[in-house]
Amino acid sequence: MEFIDTMLMTPGPVHLDAEVMLAGARPLLHHRTDDFAPIYTECVNLLKKFINTKHLYLTTSSGTGAMETAIANSFNEGETVLNIQTGVFGVRFTQICKAFRLNTVELKCEDGKCVKIEQIAKAIQENPAISGVTVTFNETSTGIKNDIKAIGEFLKGKNILLIVDGVSGLGALEYDHDNWNVDVTVSASQKGFLAPPGVGMVALSERAMAKMESVKCHGLYFDLKVYKKNQELKIPAYPWTPAINVMYSLLEALRKIDRIGLNVCINHYAKLAGGLRAALKALGIKIFTEECATSNVLTVFYVPEDLNPKEIVAEMVNKYGIRIAGGQEQFANTMLRITTIGNIGERDLIGTIGLLEMILKQKGYLKETGAGLKAMMEYFMANEK
Ligand SMILES: Cc1ncc(COP(=O)(O)O)c(C=O)c1O
């Protein structure tokens, strides 16, 4: 069977609805006009509301560009930054910091575990020059959710900027930039904000705004001083040519989230993730992430011994039109990842688990199909409002 649409059960880009995609097909408006300014401004304002921040800029980039913007505007060459690493994306901040000639202190957490406050305290005690901490809110490579609220509380009153990668967490998990004492939060359009890729986001605290004004940003494209100046114009503008069509789609998606209610979306994903975890447990499949740090964005799990995750991914997409994700980097031969965010519901999770069970039976891991589905359906029914 050849599929026209592949169902994306990957942790970003995620499955989007037709209205959001079609919004991006509208003819272009010129970006330095009264026509486009309200679209740009409404995107910024809705994101400020969802993240709870007073200052937010959009970038024409994916999430990595927003991460780079955060670092470029928060630190001068030679400053020391603590990079908390709970997976691939924590390491990415180290790579960016090094590219900007910062000194890095790398805090590598144990596989499958979130960072603990004592580890951060120890690193800061041992390295008093630290003036910034980077951390991943939802680590998409390992399915770990770090406790940003607790980290913000711990860093309160210290002269240390907290920079959070919220690329896959925002829009999907509860988050509060201002009340959690975060200085810079970055995100992107293609995950919890339910839009195509192409727009990055950078939110800043008052303290981060002040620091940004004093930092000599190396490079022009991501210099937030230029973004600030343009956003303060009579017709608020983006400094360069923005991803106009992606912004049309983003606005459609943000309005939809606002109409439904961000909390309703967050609770919906929690229910889907609970159902998925219940199914995996019933199938005797081990979840990689420690229980206190599991995320509702995605679940990362071990592939039963002797099975090849790449073959399972290929069969799911080629036979059944469902794209799940393999493990990243050192986990490529042992893990699978399934998301529970996007324009998806119980229908899609039941389909995914049912088809996965069929493959697992054909490969000889399961004697009978149905145990995972039963656990999932029971979970969904028990958690219906
Ligand atoms: C947590 C996290 N940070 C950063 C990124 C990088 O974002 P992008 O691929 O949009 O550059 C990703 C992408 O998957 C991510 O999940």
> Could you tell me the CA-to-CA distances from 238 to 60, 194, 327 in Å, in that order?
9, 22, 37
Distance 165 CA to ligand 1 centre (A): 8
CA 40 – ligand 1 centroid, Å:
23
Half-sphere exposure of 32 (CA within 13 A, CB side): 5
- List phi, psi (to 5°) of 48: -60, -40
> Is 87's C-beta closer than 6 angstroms to any atom of ligand 1?
no
Nearest ligand 1 atom, CA 140: 16
Q: Is residue 167 within 6 Å of ligand 1 at its C-beta?
A: yes
Q: Specify the pLDDT at position 167.
A: 98
Report the separation in Å between the CA atom of 66 and the middle of ligand 1, taken as the mean of its atom positions: 10
At 20-30, the pLDDT tens digits run 999 999 999 99
Rounded alpha-carbon distances, angstroms, from residue 246 to 102, 168, 347, 384: 33, 18, 28, 34
Summarised one tens digit per residue, pLDDT across range 199-237 is 999 999 999 999 999 999 889 999 999 999 999 998 888
| For residue 13, cis peptide bond before it (omega within 30 degrees of 0) | yes
Ligand 1 mean position, distance from CA 358 (Å): 31
Atom of ligand 1 nearest to the CA of 141: 16
Q: What is the pLDDT along the chain (385 residues), one digit of tens a residue?
A: 666 689 999 999 999 999 999 999 999 999 988 999 999 999 999 999 999 999 999 999 999 999 999 999 999 999 999 999 999 999 999 999 999 999 999 999 999 999 999 999 999 999 999 999 999 999 999 999 999 999 999 999 999 999 999 999 999 999 999 999 999 999 999 999 999 999 999 999 999 999 999 999 889 999 999 999 999 998 888 999 999 999 999 999 999 999 999 999 999 999 999 999 999 999 999 999 999 999 999 999 999 988 999 999 999 999 999 999 999 999 999 999 999 999 999 999 999 999 999 999 999 999 999 999 999 999 999 999 7
381 C-alpha vs ligand 1 centroid, how far in Å?
33
CA distance readout (Å), 294 to 3, 102, 118, 181, 243: 32, 31, 20, 23, 34
Q: What whole-number percentage of the chain has pLDDT above 90?
A: 96
pLDDT per residue over 120-177, tens digit each? 999 999 999 999 999 999 999 999 999 999 999 999 999 999 999 999 999 999 999 9
pTM of the predicted structure, to 2 decimals: 0.97
Instruction: Tell me, using a 6 A CB cutoff, whether residue 168 lines ligand 1.
Output: yes
Query: What pLDDT is stored for residue 2 in this prediction?
Result: 65
Contacts of 131 (CB under 8 A, 6+ apart): 75, 79, 80, 81, 159, 160, 161
Q: Which atom of ligand 1 is nearest to the CA of 169?
A: 1
Is any atom of ligand 1 closer than 6 Å to the C-beta of 192?
Answer: no
Q: Is the C-alpha dihedral spanning 109, 111, 117, 122 positive or negative?
A: negative
> What local confidence, expressed as pLDDT, does residue 235 receive?
87
Q: Which atom of ligand 1 is nearest to the CA of 190?
A: 10
Nearest atom (ligand 1) to Cα of 200: 10
Q: Is the CB of 298 under 6 A from ligand 1?
A: no
Amino acid making up residue 82: L
Residue 176 dihedral angles phi and psi, to the nearest 5°: -150, 90
Closest CA relative to residue 222, chosen from 47, 54, 72, 40: 72
Q: Does the beta carbon of 89 sit less than 6 angstroms from any atom of ligand 1?
A: yes
- 222 C-alpha to center of ligand 1: Å? 17
Q: H-type helices in 156-285, by residue range?
A: 206-214, 224-231, 244-260, 262-282
**Strand pairing category for 80-85 and 103-108:** parallel
Q: Which atom of ligand 1 is nearest to the CA of 188?
A: 10
State if residue 188 touches ligand 1 by the CB under 6 angstroms criterion.
Answer: yes
pLDDT attached to residue 339 = 98
Question: Is there an atom of ligand 1 within 6 Å of 63 CB?
Answer: yes
End-to-end CA distance of the chain: 37
Does residue 185's CB lie within 6 angstroms of at least one atom of ligand 1? no
Residue 112 Cβ inside 6 Å of ligand 1? The answer reads no
The Cα angle at residue 180 between residues 175 and 184, in degrees rounded to 5: 80
Question: What phi and psi, each to the nearest 5 degrees, are found at residue 7?
Answer: -80, 120
Domains, the chain, with CATH or none: 7-12+261-382 (3.90.1150.10), 18-258 (3.40.640.10)
* Shortest-distance Cα residue to atom 5 of ligand 1: 63
Alpha-carbon span 307 to 322, nearest angstrom: 19
